[in-house]
Structure 1
């Protein structure tokens, strides 16, 4: 039995009719489909609780879409939502733009592509990973302190910070093709710990039935 499990949840679909890269911009809320995704994730966790899993901690990024995704789980599990700024979306120089290849080829953006390995257009992958690791470790410790050995924690965050964390835990390089991220809307990446050692990383999509037709514009 793991000493603790931390679940990294990506937020649900965002209402974004203009298809802009919303990044850390405020007031981007869940769509109706996104709310339904959040409810499905909450049911997933409630079923786990009904089977004997004890949840001791729930935190979310300060952005609206993460807070709204966390709300049904908080209600289902009787937990408060704690806001952790370390879970926020990656900073991106292109937020607010409707990103396309023709737009990005404009000369005024060329300076942002000088180092794609870092990447130079936004928050470095390593910095994202560093803050996410701190958030995950804090969640592990707090969950066990509050709910005992074997406790679970839920952290609602965003695709890119979750994915670089997943890559690191698998010993893979952080630079990657964004089209190949295994972190769909309302997905759950579960990290099992034995004390401070990661025993396994599992990925699931409780809201898979709602993914067809969902907006695919990433946050960063």
Structure 2
């Protein structure tokens, strides 16, 4: 039975002095610290490759911050970046707002808060998992087609889609407290497969020492 691994890499820190919930808005670039995080991710995957890992397929969300995070890894591994809309950030009705906590005191927003389990303010968690896992499946099959047994792929995505995909993989409820997501900037959530069966989930933080003081607004 063929083994494969798909790594879900979250983008690095974004330059966002206005603390806007940027969601799917264009032209939100990595900060200087975010670029360092992207380099750390490239070092992480480069070290894996030098140790014998066969990382042969690289995919990114179309959003600027994800594309910029993917580039150093593409250079380190000699890979092209494939863009996949299915791993984009979650839709959110509060996209574009600054000081979201303060904005939620406005009664106009209250109808969107009635169901945190779906959630009512944005794209259903279950829909995010479906599109992410479809992309994971395609990336895994493409990697296996290139390198065979033990092939690995990297998908550069966003905190919420990665986190709910991990929760689904671990058979946990998809609803959660956003403040308790284990999916820090430029972190790596790895899904391990035997054939089509998901057999393991692991997590790493190549930029752990860069996280203190980093801006880390939940995207959704």
Conserved in 1, the CA contact under 8 Å of 2:21 and 2:100?
no
1:33 aligned partner: 33
1:183 aligned partner: 183
**3-state DSSP class of the match of 1:15?**
coil
In the TM superposition, residue 116 of structure 1 has moved relative to its aligned partner by 1.2
1:93 aligned partner: 93
TM-score (norm 1): 0.98
1:196 and 2:193 correspond: no
1:134 aligned partner: 134
Extract structure 1 runs of 4+ deviating beyond 4 A: none
1:6 aligned partner: 6
1:32-67 CA-to-partner distances (Å, cap 9, x unmatched) read: 000000001101100111111111210000000000
Conserved in 2, the CA contact under 8 Å of 1:69 and 1:156?
yes
Matching of residues 96-175 of structure 1 within 5 Å:
96-175=96-175
2 CA distance for matches of 1:69 and 1:2? 29
In the TM superposition, residue 2 of structure 1 has moved relative to its aligned partner by 6.8
Matching of residues 22-101 of structure 1 within 5 Å:
22-101=22-101
Unaligned runs of 5+ in 2: none
2 CA distance for matches of 1:171 and 1:15? 34
Aligned length: 220
Conserved in 1, the CA contact under 8 Å of 2:2 and 2:148?
no
2 CA distance for matches of 1:148 and 1:113? 46
2 CA distance for matches of 1:86 and 1:15? 24
In the TM superposition, residue 209 of structure 1 has moved relative to its aligned partner by 1.1
Do the aligned partners of residues 2 and 182 (structure 1) sit closer, same or farther apart at CA in structure 2, a change above 3 Å counting? farther
2 CA distance for matches of 1:116 and 1:212? 29
1:18 aligned partner: 18
In the TM superposition, residue 114 of structure 1 has moved relative to its aligned partner by 1.8
1:105-147 CA-to-partner distances (Å, cap 9, x unmatched) read: 2111011112111101000101001000101111110000011
Unaligned runs of 5+ in 1: none
2 CA distance for matches of 1:169 and 1:210? 28
1:84-111 CA-to-partner distances (Å, cap 9, x unmatched) read: 0000000000011113433102111011
1 CA distance for matches of 2:2 and 2:60? 23
2:206 aligned partner: 206
**3-state DSSP class of the match of 1:23?**
coil
Conserved in 2, the CA contact under 8 Å of 1:143 and 1:151?
yes
**3-state DSSP class of the match of 2:191?**
strand
TM-score (norm 2): 0.98
Conserved in 1, the CA contact under 8 Å of 2:94 and 2:100?
no
